């Protein structure tokens, strides 16, 4: 028996899914998968979980095309994969994508626009940074861990002496409050890794 699934996505953890979830429920989604992750990467947990349960005859509902993909190549591949399996994609502000020639044309146009929009945002961001740098107003995030940071120095000592102290990376990070990624990065820079 075919089923209607919903998929909701926002790009960052501080954004909310509420309006998408409500719209998907009103459109008939029986089960909703969700992600808080960028759309340029199709390897998102919620999306992958959804793809595993889909079967021919099912329908996936999304509120807008850019919720499922913002990258043209991956978006087209994903929609084609769904259509080839007999799965329909219902985009609430566009209509049903069912592998007809018209739906394929609209899909390509919409994903191209989403990709272009993302590139324009990045271009404006780069231009803004260049102007701010030229005016001396651009400041990068200050380094959290400097050579004088006692926590970092302690973490590096423990890291370098793991053979003797038998501490795991997790334990070292808990003791010193230095993040795992920073510890690895700085240890690599210093040739300890």
Q: Tell me which residues are annotated as active site.
A: 11
- Calpha distance 36→29 (Å, rounded): 19
User: Which residue spans within 46-98 are E strands per DSSP?
Assistant: 59-62, 88-91, 95-97
Nearest to 109 by CA among 88, 92, 94: 94
Q: How many Å is the Cα radius of gyration of the chain?
A: 23
Burial of 73 (0-12, 13-18, 19+ CB in 10 A): exposed
3-state secondary structure of 13: coil
**Backbone angles phi and psi of 141, in degrees to 5:** -65, 130
Per the listing, tokens 């501490």 go with: 167
Per the listing, tokens 């087209």 go with: 76
């Amino acid at each position: 028996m075919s089923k209607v699934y919903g998929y909701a996505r926002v790009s960052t953890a501080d954004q909310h899914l509420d309006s998408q979830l409500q719209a998907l429920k009103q459109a008939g989604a029986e089960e909703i998968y969700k992600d808080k992750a960028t759309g340029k990467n199709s390897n998102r947990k919620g999306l992958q979980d959804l793809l595993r349960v889909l079967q021919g005859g099912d329908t996936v509902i999304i509120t807008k095309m850019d919720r499922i993909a913002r990258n043209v190549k991956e978006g087209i591949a994903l929609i084609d994969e769904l259509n080839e399996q007999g799965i329909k994609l219902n985009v609430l502000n566009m209509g049903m994508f069912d592998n007809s020639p018209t739906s394929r044309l609209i899909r390509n146009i919409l994903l191209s626009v989403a990709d272009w929009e993302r590139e324009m945002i990045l271009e404006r961001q780069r231009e803004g940074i260049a102007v701010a740098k030229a005016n001396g107003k651009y400041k990068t995030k200050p380094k959290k861990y400097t050579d004088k940071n006692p926590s970092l120095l302690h973490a590096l000592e423990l890291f370098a002496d793991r053979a003797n102290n038998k501490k795991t990376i997790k334990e070292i990070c808990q003791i010193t409050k230095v993040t795992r990624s920073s510890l690895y990065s700085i240890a690599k820079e210093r040739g300890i890794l």
